[in-house]
């Protein structure tokens, strides 16, 4: 218990706040299990929860020898390094969902332009708005799913993907809107008079 109180005097970034709360609770005489339960309610990271659980378990069963804490510290540092390497390895993969969304938008723009040209040759008239309404829902759905995948890759949680999903959906909406009003003419088939 004394080690937690001593550790609370040092700075450990975001963990310092939780360590000070635990030291205060130990000073009040709270049981270690209750301290861990309170800590688990305040944090969501499995690494932090596991580290504190092992620390409190070691203190609780009387294994508070310095070797125990050295092994725990080494284990935590190794896990943190593995997580850092995993994030660095996966970071380049974050671009793939964005490229997927951009590629899909470009294909839809070219397809709409090509179809408009073919329909002009056949002397049928379908407005750009009708084409856009036809292709917009699938493009937005794929953009949102790609955003969720990007979030899963970047933060290891689906919830982290909502930001990417919104970004991709907005970009897709803007690109399709712009394609309907500006750039469709670039890809249209030239009809001979």
Mean pLDDT confidence for 82-91 = 86
User: Is pLDDT at 36 greater than 50 in this prediction?
Assistant: yes
Identify the DSSP state of 45. -
- Which is nearest to 22 in space by CA: 44, 62, 49, 45? 49
List Cα–Cα distances, 108 to 21, 51, 57, 125, 184, in angstroms.
Answer: 55, 50, 58, 19, 10
Mean pLDDT confidence for 108-114 = 78
Give the residue with greater pLDDT, 57 vs 126: 57
76 vs 47: CA distance, rounded Å: 8
Name residues whose C-beta falls within 8 Å of residue 139's C-beta, 6 or more positions apart in sequence.
104, 105, 108, 172, 176
Q: How much of the chain exceeds pLDDT 90, in percent?
A: 1
* pLDDT per residue as tens digits for the range 51-81: 778 877 877 777 666 677 777 778 878 888 8
Q: What is the mean pLDDT of the chain?
A: 78
Ordered by start, the domain boundaries in the chain are 2-64, 91-187
Check: CB of residue 175 under 8 Å from CB of residue 155.
no
Residue 120: Cβ-neighbour burial (10 angstroms; 0-12, 13-18, 19+): middle
Q: How much of the chain exceeds pLDDT 70, in percent?
A: 87
* pLDDT per residue as tens digits for the range 147-185: 888 888 887 778 888 988 998 889 888 877 776 665 445
This prediction has a pTM of 0.59
Mean pLDDT confidence for 116-130 = 74
What integer pLDDT is reported at residue 182 of this predicted model? Answer: 57
- Which is nearest to 140 in space by CA: 178, 101, 112? 101
């Amino acid at each position: 218990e004394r080690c937690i109180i001593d550790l609370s005097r040092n700075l450990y970034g975001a963990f310092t706040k939780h360590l000070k709360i635990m030291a205060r609770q130990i000073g009040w005489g709270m049981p270690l299990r209750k301290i861990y339960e309170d800590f688990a309610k305040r944090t969501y990271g499995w690494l932090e929860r596991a580290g504190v659980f092992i620390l409190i378990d070691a203190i609780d069963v009387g294994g508070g020898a310095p070797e125990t804490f050295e092994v725990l510290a080494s284990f935590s540092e190794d896990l943190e390094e593995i997580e850092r390497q995993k994030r660095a390895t996966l970071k380049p993969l974050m671009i793939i969902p964005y490229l997927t969304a951009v590629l899909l938008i470009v294909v839809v723009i070219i397809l709409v332009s090509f179809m408009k040209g073919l329909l002009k040759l056949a002397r049928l008239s379908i407005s750009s708005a009708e084409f856009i309404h036809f292709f917009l829902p699938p493009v937005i759905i794929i953009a949102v799913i790609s955003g969720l995948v990007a979030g899963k890759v970047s933060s290891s949680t689906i919830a982290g993907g909502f930001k990417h999903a919104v970004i991709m959906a907005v970009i897709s909406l803007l690109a399709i809107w712009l394609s309907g009003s500006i750039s469709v003419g670039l890809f249209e088939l030239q009809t001979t008079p």
